[in-house]
Amino acid sequence: MTQIRSSQYTFFVTAARGTEAFASEEARALGAEILDVLPGGVSVRGPLELGYRLCLWSRVAQRVLLPIAHFQAATAEELYEAIRGLPWEEHLEVDTPFEVECTRAAESAIAHSHYAALKTKDAIADRFRSRMGRRPSVRRSGRRLTIHLYLKGCEASVSVDLSGEPLYKRGYRQHSGTAPLKETLAAALLYAASWPEYAAQGHPLVDPFCGSGTIAIEAATMALRIAPGLLRSHFGFLAWRQHDQQTWHALRAEARSRTLPANGRPPLIYASDCSANVLHQAHDAAKRAGVFPAIRFAQADARGLQPPPHSRPGLVLTNPPYGHRLSGDAIDELYAQFGDTLRHNFLGWTAFVFTGNLSAARHIGLRPTQRLPFWNGPIECRLLRFPIASTSVRGSGPRWRQQTREAATPKG
Ligand SMILES: C[S@@+](CC[C@H](N)C(=O)[O-])C[C@H]1O[C@@H](n2cnc3c(N)ncnc32)[C@H](O)[C@@H]1O
């Protein structure tokens, strides 16, 4: 199967485990026909403009791939022959550098992804050399086309990577912070917590363990309708031979015109952390993202934090430390004291705690009404939802401990 120039394309939107449903909802809202939601991504259909829209507007997608061929390849030689037979001249100018990235399922017949990528590069270069007498250069930085190869069993899928650099690289982060969340994961957590609906009704968001500010910055870009791709200067499709510059310019102009001013109203988003160093990084990133006036940053201990003065109840969405650098007792104590803070100071609010330490999370002392599974890189995490109402307070006796232990235990 090969996909050639047509008015309708199939795209594969890759998304981290646990975030596929949000990527699918976003794609639908951007006008896509949803073909399939799979572990790791969503297959969608629409015109080329949709591919650009996904790159510009999706907050959850990691990459937007344009599959161009799918075939059987049980060996590296079969892979080479099939790749060499594809019409690369339709996708790549001989003067455009390219790179090949390969991912493979555990059971793929070709055992080494690096070797498969090398064979793919050779096949593309050899096709150009035999037809045009010279080969495109291979480069890993600067403007280039990224070809994506996926191997599973004896099957290979080849795609043009329209996004190029993964889309979580928004362009506003310069420091790596203390265990920062990927921007795409932070956006999925905000969707899961219904932040867009809260923001539209003027309810505030508080992140008391904000670190480098990822949750707050992503929340602000949602509230201000800032397209996350507006800050990026490079996308893979800019080096693609079929790129339609006019459509891309029109979409960027449309996105700019939809952006709300960051200083047009009082901040709805409150972000604090006990570390001055990470707050400094958060300030920098928020300024680069153009959302600094929309966020009130403060250096504060999450234990004993008060809600913003005179504010209506809203959302607490936060990612406390998982405790790798703290003793078991210290991290349990931190979660217990934060739970006390929620119960005593945030009555009427809804709290979402994102953590990879489910044993510490039991010490929050509230019963989660929802436990959504996500992966933070290799760490299996849960987003725990705690409505803070007087009836949800379980006290500190054995009853809530037993209930929360059951609730926080991962199933399967
Ligand atoms: C997992 S990191 C948060 C990362 C953040 N979501 C990001 O994307 O950068 C946890 C943060 O909690 C902060 N922290 C630890 N104990 C705290 C406390 N008692 N009060 C406030 N912040 C605390 C740390 O400084 C760290 O920045």
Q: Where do the structural domains in the chain lie, given as residue ranges? A: 9-161, 183-224+266-408
pLDDT in tens, the chain (412 residues): 445 455 899 999 999 999 999 999 999 999 999 999 999 999 999 999 999 999 999 999 999 999 999 999 999 999 999 999 999 999 999 989 999 999 998 888 888 999 999 999 999 999 999 998 888 777 666 678 999 999 999 999 999 999 999 999 999 998 766 678 999 999 999 999 999 999 999 999 999 999 999 999 999 999 999 999 999 989 999 999 999 999 999 999 999 999 998 877 767 999 999 999 999 999 999 999 999 999 999 999 999 999 999 889 999 999 999 987 666 689 999 999 999 999 999 999 999 999 999 999 999 999 999 999 999 989 999 999 999 985 444 444 333 333 333 333 333 3
pLDDT at 407: 32
Residue with tokens 């379980």: 394
Q: Ligand 1: does its nearest atom lie under 6 Å from the Cβ of 175?
A: no
The model's pLDDT over 253-292, given as tens digits with 9 standing for 90+, comes to 999 999 998 877 767 999 999 999 999 999 999 999 999 9
Q: By the 8 A CB rule, do 146 and 98 touch?
A: yes
In this structure, which residue's CA is closest to atom 25 in ligand 1?
Answer: 275
Q: Ligand 1: does its nearest atom lie under 6 Å from the Cβ of 278?
A: yes
The CATH code for residues 9-161 is 3.30.2130.30
Q: Ligand 1: does its nearest atom lie under 6 Å from the Cβ of 37?
A: no
Q: Ligand 1: does its nearest atom lie under 6 Å from the Cβ of 181?
A: yes
Closest to 189 (Cα-Cα) out of 164, 163, 217, 170: 217
DSSP E strands in 85-154: the ranges are 98-104, 145-152
Best residue among 273, 327, 331 to mutate for probing ligand 1's pocket (most ligand atoms within 8 Å of CB) is 273
pLDDT at 262: 83
Closest to 24 (Cα-Cα) out of 65, 56, 33: 33
The CATH label, of 3.40.50.2000, 3.40.50.1390, 3.40.50.150, 3.40.50.360, for the domain at 183-224+266-408 is 3.40.50.150
Q: What share of the chain is helix, strand, coil (3-state, %, to 5)?
A: 40, 25, 40
> Is the interface score ipTM higher than 0.90?
yes
Same fold, 9-161 and 183-224+266-408: no
Six token digits for residue 283: 């300030």
Look up residue 386 and give its amino acid.
Answer: F
Element at 286 (helix H, strand E) = helix 276-289
pLDDT at 174: 84
In this structure, which residue's CA is closest to atom 3 in ligand 1?
Answer: 211
Cα distance between residue 86 and residue 32, in whole Å? 27
For β-strands 379-387 and 33-38, DSSP reports them as: unpaired
pLDDT at 101: 94
